[in-house]
A = this chain, B = another copy of it.
Amino acid sequence: MTERTRTALPAASLDTLFRTARTYNAFEPAQIAGEVVRELYELAKWGPTATNSNPARFVFLTTPEARARLSPHMSSANRARTLAAPVNVIMAYDLNFAEKIPFLFPHKPEAAAWFARPEAAQEAAFRNGSLQAAYLMMAARSLGLDCGPMSGFDPQGVNDEFFKDTSLRANFICNIGHGTEENLFPRLPRLPFEEACQIL
């Protein structure tokens, strides 16, 4: 059994993860090493998913050629910043994720049947694939990197270009790198506790 620390993170870590983290529109041009990409996943993979289903699939675009395949499918507002980022991640999920349940949930392989209906598979893949995409962004910030997530793109175009004849579907796109203050807007407000939360 693993040792638990059960102490809060240092204040500087809370800043890095949440309080001073920003969505960056521009990044330093330096490449992100393949080992760092791998480390991102090796952290994010530990985040919880229903039935340990792990439906997320991550496609890391690290070359100009790969970015050129993505850029026509980005909205015009997002295209230039996507081409300029060191890494674009296609945050995707696999509609056939249940095929891996016998490996991932070995004490109850019959749980794969819970996702037999296409609607159930789609809902679980979208929910848990989104959770895992958030874990990947938090992992990036944990490693001192910055993120620029974007929903402004043509999912059908990305699916046709990268996932044709497969069960993978694009969820959203995220640039990753070391952010710069270029085109960094003042921080937008958040909802006060009373508008977003209830304590019962």
- Interfacial residues, chain A to chain B (CB-CB below 8 A): 1-10, 12-23, 34, 37-38, 41-48, 50-52, 54, 56-63, 65-66, 69, 100, 103-107, 124, 126-127, 130-135, 137-139, 142-144, 146-147, 149-151, 171-172, 178-179, 181, 184-185, 187-191, 193, 195-200
Q: A20-B2, A59-B198 are in contact. Are A151 and B124 (CB under 8 A)?
A: yes
Q: Contact between A58 and B197 (Cβ–Cβ < 8 Å)? A: yes
Contacts of A144 in B (CB 8 A): 5-9
Does B18 lie within 8 Å of A44, measured CB to CB? yes
DSSP class of A's interface residues: helix, strand, loop or mixed?
Answer: mixed
Are A193 and B42 within 8 A (Cβ)?
Answer: yes
Residues of B within 8 A of A124 (CB): 151
